[in-house]
Amino acid sequence: MFRSLLSVAMLSLALALPVSVHAGGADVVGVTVLHMKKSGPNIYRFRVTVRHADTGWDHYADRWQVLAPDGTVLGTRVLHHPHENEQPFTRYHDIEIPSGVREVTVRAGDKVHGFEGATMTARLPD
């Protein structure tokens, strides 16, 4: 009898506690790269689509980055607010890419997990 009462009490306590649902890392799900020749010989416009289960100001995808093959960060697009009702979402950013770099990796980060999500590799247009 005592065990069943204890079990019911523990179950009631567990149900009364707030449940925290955690979003995982921010995933890059699309990348388009355009050569912006009018802006300069090495300027490229990145159109990046990110998916993340934003839950508000404490946990949202807050940036994406373009990296050279050696891991050097070539550019960062800061995302200034959560996109709870816009998933996935796409943002643009113009970045100067050093001569000789033909392929880059794009990654997205969030305020809790950093850069844990899926990345994409993109070849730069000629």
Any idea where the domains of the chain sit in the sequence?
21-123
C-alpha separations of 58 from 52, 64, 72, 104 in Å: 13, 17, 28, 29
- pTM of structure: 0.78
Q: What is the pLDDT of residue 72?
A: 97
pLDDT tens-digit series, residues 73-84 = 999 999 988 777
CATH fold of 21-123 reads Immunoglobulin-like (2.60.40)
Mean pLDDT computed over 85-95: 90
